[in-house]
Amino acid sequence: MILPSADALPEKLLALLAYDASSPLIFSSGLFLFLFAGFMLLYGAFRRAPMARIVYVILFSLYFYYKSSGIYFLLLVFAAASDFAIARAMARTTRRGARRGLVALSVLVNLSMLGYFKYTNFLIDIANQLFGQGFLQFQNIFLPVGISFFVFQSMSYTIDVYRGQLKPLSNWLDYLFYLSFFPQLVAGPIVRARDFIPQIRQNPVVVTRAMFGTGVFLILTGLFKKAIVSDYISLNFVDRIFDEPLLYSGFECLMGIYGYALQIYCDFSGYSDMAIGIALFMGFRFPKNFDAPYKSATITEFWRRWHISLSTWLRDYLYISLGGNRKGRLRTYLNLLLTMLLGGLWHGAAVRFILWGGLHGAALALHKLWLAAVPGAKPTGAQMNRWSRAAGIFLTFNLVCFGWLLFRAESMQTVELMLHQIVHNFNAPMIPQVLTGYAGVFALVAAGYLLHMLPGRADAAAQRIVTCAPLVLQVLMAAAMIWFVMQIKSSDIQPFIYFQF
């Protein structure tokens, strides 16, 4: 075995510490698994030392974010300092006007950060279309990874303090710990302060056998979803279709849309699974973020199952603030539409994201109208008979997939081309040839959807098996999964889709 020379060691260490924009640190990478193993070896030594543990986790979290966004980790520190100070100022005054001004300041500061980094060039493009190209120059602005997530998380803290639902923290390090906690930092779940903060100073840290086993199960399922299903069908089928839709038949374009629906679910829920599992290893509990969303029989049910932390955030801090359902039916429908339009804009600065949000907002409003107008109409599939539920799942899934077409396409021209191919060039006689040519892809897609549609008790049974297995068997399962990932991956580790949001 050839050992690195003494001169090479500092270079290796600097490379490990340095930020590389082309290689962000993500959960499914070998580097993260190596670093996390080292992190956990020392973490256990602080199980009865809350302050030392808090500082240690903060330093690792800031390093983790630095490896994803470089110097912009200071933006995270600024957000933590700003909202901590604003919440403390709210606690020192009982004047309603002053408190309202302070919470408005928090929202303004957070949305200004988000607006500058995410929407500046979008607004410049609109101005150039209105007043002529060249009216304003586009800016070279780096989008910090996960800024939408930690901005929303920080705003929820100050709003909860304003509403009297949460007492402000007295120690800034506790707040920085909450906002920077690395498992959910860059892609959620969006964890509420009132759920997470009481866990920070637990003494000692307790990780039960059930928590550890559940963490193993979630990390393994997350790796399977992300590194095997999502990455493979993306690289070998979905990306090709969306890049050049005119080169493919309508059937292939339709399968590309269905493939992307599975890809984005496995990518995002895989990240959430791993984040929840890693947090459990450290003694922290996160809320569930996905609940088999493609089993939904109505669009309302879909948003109770998809990206639950975002949908509940939009409900509690936007929809309710707009008036919710308290100001009559027409206002309720308008509030739903506005909430989802802004939810679409949260995902990205592009017309297609606004249309995606508008589609879901209109669908939610129409479903609420349907429930009010049709006697016996049910809000979720659990209350329907078998055939109504099957029909509802089919219609809801295809509506959601149409939304994913808007969400994934690089431009509205791509949307038009794919719909044109599906409608005018479906080419059904080629289906057997396509299925044969992409046998591996379609087998993985079929397996992914089959596993997704299994009853909840099957997932619970699999979790019990892994959770109750001896530690040696759990280690062997993890090794087998890592080996499987290494065998099937066909290129470099792919970043998570939601890193761009």
For 391-417, what is each residue's pLDDT tens digit? 999 999 999 999 999 999 988 999 999
Cα dihedral angle (304, 306, 307, 309), rounded to 10 degrees?
A: 10
What is the tens place of the pLDDT at every residue in 142-161? 888 888 889 999 999 999 99
* Residues identified as active-site: 347
Q: Please check the confidence at residue 322 and state whether its pLDDT lies above 80.
A: yes
- What's the CA gap between 394 and 398, in Å, rounded? 6
Q: How far apart are CA 400 and CA 398, in angstroms?
A: 5
Residues 6+ apart with CB under 8 A from 351: 412
Q: How far is CA 464 from CA 288, 410, 476, in A?
A: 17, 42, 17
Only one residue has tokens 């077409």, namely 405
Q: Mean pLDDT lowest for which of 17-21, 174-178, 366-370, 376-380?
A: 17-21
Residue 7 has pLDDT above 60, yes or no: no
Residue 31 pLDDT > 70: yes
The residue whose two tokens read 């200004």 is 112
Q: Number of C-alpha atoms within 13 angstroms, CB side, residue 158?
A: 29
Q: Minimal CA–CA distance to 498: which of 175, 177, 226, 178?
A: 226
Q: Quick check: helix, strand or coil at residue 244?
A: coil
42-46, 173-177, 236-240, 264-268: which has the minimum mean pLDDT?
Answer: 42-46
Q: What average pLDDT score do residues 425-454 get? A: 93
pLDDT higher at 377 or 334: 334
Whether residue 6 is predicted with pLDDT greater than 60 in this model: the reply is no
Q: How far is CA 13 from CA 8, 22, 25, 35, 66, in A?
A: 9, 18, 15, 12, 15
The string of pLDDT tens digits covering residues 456-487 is 899 899 999 998 888 889 888 888 887 887 77
pLDDT band at 84 (very low <50, low <70, confident <90, very high): very high
448-464 pLDDT tens trace? 999 999 998 998 999 99
Within 10 Å of residue 94's Cβ, how many Cβ atoms?
A: 8
Separation between Cα atoms, residue 473 and residue 495, nearest integer Å: 30
Return the pLDDT at 177: 96
Q: Count of CB atoms within 10 A of residue 433's CB?
A: 11
**pLDDT at residue 11, as a whole number:** 64
* Nearest alpha-carbon partner for 346 in 147, 154, 189, 156: 147
Write the single-letter amino acid at 362: A
Question: Which pLDDT score is estimated for 494?
Answer: 67
Instruction: Please report, as a single letter, which amino acid is at residue 86.
Output: I
Per-residue confidence band for 491, with pLDDT thresholds at 50, 70 and 90: low
- CA distance linking residue 103 with residue 162, whole number of Å: 7
Q: Specify the length of the chain in residues.
A: 501
Asked if 191 contacts 309 with a C-beta cutoff of 8 angstroms, the reply is yes
Whole-angstrom Cα distance, residue 284 to residue 286? 7
What pLDDT score was predicted for residue 431? 93
- Least confident residue range of 76-80, 116-120, 257-261: 116-120
The one-character DSSP state at 493 is P
| pLDDT of 313 above 90 | yes
With a cut of 50, say whether residue 1 has pLDDT above it.
Answer: no
Q: Which of 89, 187, 114, 179 is nearest to 497 (CA)?
A: 187
Pick from 26-30, 96-100, 334-338: least confident: 26-30
Q: Single out the residue of 216, 208, 206 nearest to residue 464, CA to CA.
A: 216
Q: Out of 117-131, 204-218, 281-295, 433-447, which region has the weakest mean confidence (pLDDT)? A: 117-131
Cβ 277 vs Cβ 216: under 8 Å: yes
**What average pLDDT does the structure give for the chain?**
88
CB-based burial, 319-355: b 16+ in 10 Å, e otherwise: beebebeeeeeeebbbbbbbbbbbbbbbbbbbebbbb
pLDDT value at 445 more than 60: yes
DSSP assigned state of 248: S
pLDDT band at 259 (very low <50, low <70, confident <90, very high): very high
Could you give the percent of the chain with pLDDT greater than 70?
Answer: 93
Q: How confident is the model at residue 383 (pLDDT cuts 50, 70, 90)?
A: confident
166: left (phi over 0), alpha (psi -120 to 50) or beta: beta
328 or 343: which carries more pLDDT confidence? Answer: 343
Mean pLDDT score, 49-67: 93
Instruction: Report the C-alpha dihedral over residues 366, 367, 369, 372, rounded to 10 degrees.
Output: 170
Poorest-pLDDT segment among 18-27, 29-38, 339-348 = 18-27
338-381: pLDDT as tens digits:
999 999 998 888 889 999 999 999 999 999 999 888 888 888 88
Higher local confidence (pLDDT), 3 or 296: 296
Confidence of residue 328 (pLDDT cuts 50, 70, 90): confident
Do residues 297 and 246 touch, judged by C-beta distance below 8 A? no
Nearest alpha carbon to residue 289 among 368, 148, 407, 184: 184
282 DSSP assignment = T
